Amino acid sequence: MSVPAQTMGMKRHHFEKNFAICGLTGWCMEIIFTSLGSFRKNDFTLTGNTSIWMFPIYGMASVIGEAYPILKKCPVLLRGGIYGAGILSFEYLSGSFLKRHKLCPWDYSKARLNVNGVIRLDYFPLWVGAGLLFERILRTRN
């Protein structure tokens, strides 16, 4: 049984809107996170930064909206762990690709728990929280 073209178009439009919302949310989270890092350097300008490359990377969090109906009966920490692992995995893949082309806007090489300079395992709890935030945003949109 095939899916009507109109239904596919609506699903695509819905995914595209969620992609944009996740991309913008991720950008905002990154700017806030990097600006708060200024406190450690006694820089009270609180300048945050991001890269245009980060928009599609954060936008991919929109798949959480597709996964939620399958995972909704799982405990919240399990869902968060799945999201966190997925985010770290995608960060690793995208960061490795960008690094190979000398385009990666981040470098975690000096961090103790880094993997190839493209992910930090100590950020896992932050990604769990980010995944649950994306879930909350996407759940309220459906």
Non-local (6+) Cβ contacts of 56 within 8 A are 23
Answer whether 0.85 is exceeded by the pTM. Answer: yes
> CA 100, CA 10: separation in Å to the nearest integer?
36
Structural contact between residues 66 and 14, judged by C-beta atoms closer than 8 angstroms: no
> CA 47, CA 135: separation in Å to the nearest integer?
28
> CA 8, CA 71: separation in Å to the nearest integer?
23
Structural contact between residues 134 and 59, judged by C-beta atoms closer than 8 angstroms: no
pLDDT of residue 135: 97
> CA 19, CA 35: separation in Å to the nearest integer?
24
In tens digits, the chain (142 residues) has pLDDT values of 555 666 667 788 888 999 999 999 999 999 999 999 888 889 999 999 999 999 999 999 999 999 999 999 999 999 999 999 999 999 999 999 999 999 999 999 999 999 999 999 999 999 999 999 999 999 986 5
Q: What is the DSSP letter of 73?
A: T
Number of domains comprising the chain: 1
- pLDDT 10s digits, 3-40: 566 666 778 888 899 999 999 999 999 999 999 988 88
Residue 127 burial (C-beta neighbours within 10 Å; 0-12, 13-18, 19+): buried
pLDDT of residue 12: 80
Domain range for 85 is 5-141
List the beta bridge partners of residue 120: 114
Q: Of 51, 48, 53, nearest to 38 (Cα)?
A: 48
